[in-house]
Amino acid sequence: MDIADHAQVKEEAERDNLIRKIAAKPDHAGSETCIDCDDVIPAARRLLVPDANRCVDCLEIKERQLNGRA
């Protein structure tokens, strides 16, 4: 097994783990922990954004990635 094979196995395992994590959460429902970093989403944020599933830091990172500024 070469380095590319090891990288592929790791990537598949990480993807499967994320799929399981996302599948375990109900659609359109908020979460107490961030889906990206697993940090607790503050109660104030959950109150203002009931369907929040990312902390503010991870949301900003995701938005930068989507806007091509990552």
**SS3 at position 9:** helix
Interval 31-67: pLDDT, tens: 799 999 999 999 999 889 988 999 999 999 999 999 8
Interval 10-39: pLDDT, tens: 999 999 888 887 776 655 457 799 999 999
Global pTM value: 0.54
Domain encompassing residue 27: 3-66
Distance between first and last Cα of the chain: 32
For the chain, what is the domain count? 1
- Compute φ and ψ for 2, nearest 5 degrees: -95, 180
